[in-house]
Structure 1
């Protein structure tokens, strides 16, 4: 059994603030350790369930957060950027299951460090008319590859968002939002035990990806009209209003196109990754 882990940082045990998750933050180095420990808990659970191969993709910000010397020796790490598939780099149909560790809720929700991919640039997103963020788009893209997402860890808002998207995905809340930059935290040992136990349990059942649409439509409302103006020049992109653009096509192609949109928006905005 091959298991894939997409690992973000905002939903990691104990982290609540930009100072925790940005490389210039005063608590970032400690947060890297916390990130590795959540990941290692999930890896231990996967191994208990019989995983013969584990691949971890560092999916946060610069994508150089996880240190290879802190990672469980049974796992391979994908680190650095740019990556054509971003948060899902390395995932393909040979994997039996995917786990989302340290994820957060979408922009506009009352979750810890909530945003959608680019906190300053993206105001809202919709997938086939449904509000979506990193959780939903990751789930839909994995399904298009034939891989089921079976576990998500993060704050309670992220867990609710995943349950609304797919109630079959097991969720592990490691903290409870008290605001965008505050949370009630589970004790660290308890959080790690919950992640490990959930990973072991969810990987022992039937692993079947949900059906994927042949075509999908992604719409994004940007904070800046300049971004929307520039992106409307790309083939297949249509404008819905001054700040909202959309594209339709095969799910994997739509996801890859969105990755290009973010690169363009980052170059135009010249802003830090979020907050």
Structure 2
């Protein structure tokens, strides 16, 4: 399970999801409740092993003592595979909990990995965000994404990538920092039931793509591009856009390197 925070039940503002925010402690408790609902759903479907990757911000949001005892937790950073750390071909399925829509979408806390530092991402010419890249990378590893929870914009984005993925809207975006919320108990019951259904029976593995992919990222700052061009295989399409070509798991990992470079140059807050 890859667990982000912006798409968690009840959360709508950066104070809900950023360490030091006035409602962050409540937010991480809400995060644990959504994750535990997904774990219960997986266990009900017969899962014998559940690995949870804390994939939000500092990646130390989930408190181990609040997590369902059936699951193991990957916590902290850096992580070579970012939001998919720990995912290998040995797993039968992946579940995305608390995800959000990509940069530019009118979804709750929408962005792509780095707030306004990343303006756009394209995978093989198709606009993508964290959802699209997670889905495609998991598929390249031979693991299907079977369920996703988040706001209605995130669910729609997932459905556009793969309509077979079971989605659970836990809130309905009114704007980027406002939403109509489902009652928490109702949302978690829906998460649990959806994950059970998505894993019953065990899904078929996707065919691993044989061709290489092209990843392109448009940054807010031209200085990021200037530095990234020092990495072999990285080219520029304009002063603020870089691209690279290769197999998807490797490209996803390389994106993490690009973001570390950008973070060292910009020091911008994640939302603006």
TM-score of the pair, normalised by structure 2: 0.98
Residue of structure 2 in register with 1:171 after alignment: 167
For 1:45, the equivalent position in structure 2 comes to: 41
1:82 to 78, 84, 89: 78
1:98 to 94, 98, 107: 94
1:269 equivalent to 2:261? Answer no
Cross-structure match for 1:151? 147
Report deviation, 1:206.
Answer: 4.3
**Deviation string for 1:54-85 (max 9, x for gaps)?**
00000000000000000000000000000111
Cα deviation per residue 1:138-166 (whole Å; 9 max; x = unaligned)? 00110111100000000000000000000
Which of the residues 216, 220, 228 maps onto 1:219? 216
Structure 1 residue 274, shift from structure 2 partner? 4.0
2:136 to 132, 135, 140: 140
CA contact (8 A) 1:140 1:212 kept: no
Pairing 1:208–2:187 present: no
Cα shift at 1:273: 3.8
| Post-superposition CA distance 1:167-202 (Å, at most 9, x none) | 010000000000000000000000000000001111
Q: Kindly indicate whether the alpha-carbon contact (under 8 Å) linking 1:149 and 1:209 is maintained by their aligned counterparts in 2.
A: no
5+ residue gaps in structure 2? Answer: none
Deviation at 1:270, TM superposition (A): 1.5
Matched residue pairs, number? Answer: 271
Match of 2:11 among 9, 15, 20: 15
Deviates more, 1:264-273 or 1:104-113: 264-273
Is 1:230–2:227 an aligned residue pair?
yes
Whole-Å separation in 2 of the counterparts to 1:11 and 1:180: 12
1:63 paired with 2:59, answer yes
1:200-223: CA deviation from partner (whole Å, max 9, x where unpaired):
111012412333433100000000
